[in-house]
Structure 1
């Protein structure tokens, strides 16, 4: 059987890495030959998770066509978020929980997308549907991904299914998800050793909005001031990155995971679209967004609406 690669989006977060590993394991149990890989360096949070459950880091790739003819995508479907040569590959499977955009294939495929808080929640359901037992370490990884994407159920993206999956996976992995979850989230907020370039690209996605390329990055912290003390350097890094990659508008969403509030830094144009999206005026290119923690549900749809109006 021909080998396939399984991977999440560029600038992988914990779910992108974990979902690839979990889905690859499931597919291999179902008779396919797959390998989970990543499309970029791993975050501190993801490294914490893999180390905790004694799971090796995935191999990082830049292109896939030189290795395989077909691939499976998890935690994304938009081509601009995928491997650079995605257009030259056959996509046989997608498991996602985001909007569907800029996605076309020439061949039929297995496409599973659900409005839940995490791709690993969908994969948990697929394990159950296929009667495949989840190993303890894989269960721990999947539990971690759900905690990460839902911010331990504080995010508005959280559904009852996410909570149910987390509790079930915590039992399999023999892990107290509340205690472990807070430790895991805090591990991802150690930002002092990161460069500005690492901060703006650690968890970032690009979106096509009415012909404009909008980049939305998110940084989790327990101290907003710690991040914004580096504002000038962050702006310089964003401007350089935008010039290199032709981003029209770059938004850096800095989220305090303890109080579930965010501050938004905006670089590029058209800034007025950001003001319209949140019905607020920018102050020194920043917006205070109390209660906003989800890029997927509380930032991107609002921007998309005003860009397409």
Structure 2
């Protein structure tokens, strides 16, 4: 037997015995990187208490908020901790659509928690977006992809923040790091959040990590030929305002913040360019009532400008974004809007050629107000 064959057999034997982790595939769930071992050890030090720990995304939850809470609760349970995902308010149409297509159950509604409830937060870092009662709760962990809000990292035992496209991507990474198998149901949950928050990897906030997770999850679920159509239908559901009042439309993807002593409401909307003028007027018309009902000092909304896709070879993407309208209402909002976007087109309306997400605009507002 020649030396090459002896070397090959020895290598196979060593890898089979697991003596060198470098010989093990990263897809082997039994191989736990040092980062995952440290995380598992950290979890044992947390004050879990005797009752269920609830995992919440933000109020008016979108797909990423819902799916990150579901996916993370499943991870914690797999690691031996009694956790359950909840939502603090009703889910939107896109979430209802994709949960039906992918066949997973949505979390139950629990709009408030009692003092000393153990919480894990996903996809948000501001008390204004938390379940009612969060200020008196015990926050054990925060998994997020936004800049730090008024829920300070320093007061939470474990914080994982990555400035990437989707919170579900972070949770995908944590499954891999901890050696926990991603079953097909979990893969569908994580992919749903990833598709929604990156719009199938097309949003400007998408990062390499999102692409890695997308590739793995799509391959596992064998959706290579279907994912573009699923994404288009998700976008159609998200943009479907049929049967909704103007107030319901404004609040369909809405978040609240406390910045520089100001109570701020911020909506994220979409509209076809051909209908934009009328849509903006309707949203401006409902903003005074929204401000009163929600006790806000300032209201903003970004509206993605949708135009027909010039690439006729891509039937799954009938519309593409072409800039961002930014509308405002309330004392001091014009100065904030114009500092970010330049002079108003008309009262209450500014515009940028950039395709900007709320996640990109909020830090700019914060810089101005603080």
Structure-1-length-normalised TM-score? 0.92
Can you give the 5+ residue segments of structure 1 that lack an aligned partner in the other structure?
Answer: none
In the alignment, which residue of structure 1 is the partner of 2:165? Answer: 117
- Superposition deviation, residue 9 in structure 1: 0.5
Match of 1:239 among 276, 280, 288: 288
8 A Cα contact 1:135 1:172, kept in partner: no
Match of 1:153 among 201, 218, 225: 201
- Superposition deviation, residue 287 in structure 1: 1.7
1:259 aligned counterpart, secondary structure: strand
Structure-2-length-normalised TM-score? 0.77
Match of 1:259 among 297, 317, 320: 320
Q: Superposition RMSD on alpha carbons, in Å? A: 2.0
| C-alpha separation in 2, matches of 1:15 and 1:21 | 10
Can you give the 5+ residue segments of structure 2 that lack an aligned partner in the other structure?
Answer: 1-49, 307-318
1:229 aligned counterpart, secondary structure: helix
Judged with a 3 Å threshold, the aligned counterparts in structure 2 of structure 1 residues 154 and 187 are, in CA distance, closer, same or farther, namely: same
| C-alpha separation in 2, matches of 1:158 and 1:105 | 24
In the alignment, which residue of structure 2 is the partner of 1:268? Answer: 330
| C-alpha separation in 1, matches of 2:280 and 2:340 | 23
| C-alpha separation in 1, matches of 2:167 and 2:79 | 19
Residue-by-residue CA offset, 1:5-50 (whole Å, 9 max, x unaligned)? 1110011111000000000010110111111111211111111110
| C-alpha separation in 1, matches of 2:135 and 2:368 | 29
- Superposition deviation, residue 85 in structure 1: 0.7
- Superposition deviation, residue 106 in structure 1: 9.1
When structure 1 is superposed on structure 2, of 44-53 and 98-107 the one drifting more is 98-107
In the alignment, which residue of structure 2 is the partner of 1:292? Answer: 355
| C-alpha separation in 2, matches of 1:42 and 1:229 | 27
Match of 2:235 among 185, 191, 195: 185
- Superposition deviation, residue 300 in structure 1: 1.3
In the alignment, which residue of structure 1 is the partner of 2:57? Answer: 8
The answer on 1:279 being equivalent to 2:342 is yes
1:41 aligned counterpart, secondary structure: coil
| C-alpha separation in 2, matches of 1:295 and 1:151 | 14
- Superposition deviation, residue 224 in structure 1: 4.1
Q: Which runs of 4+ in 1 moved over 6 A?
A: none
| Bigger radius of gyration among the two | 2
8 A Cα contact 1:90 1:105, kept in partner: no
2:104 aligned counterpart, secondary structure: coil
- Superposition deviation, residue 74 in structure 1: 0.4
- Superposition deviation, residue 159 in structure 1: 0.4
| C-alpha separation in 2, matches of 1:73 and 1:173 | 27
Match of 2:259 among 183, 205, 209: 209
Judged with a 3 Å threshold, the aligned counterparts in structure 2 of structure 1 residues 226 and 193 are, in CA distance, closer, same or farther, namely: farther
| C-alpha separation in 1, matches of 2:87 and 2:273 | 29
| C-alpha separation in 1, matches of 2:191 and 2:353 | 27
2:320 aligned counterpart, secondary structure: coil
8 A Cα contact 1:216 1:250, kept in partner: yes
8 A Cα contact 2:98 2:234, kept in partner: yes
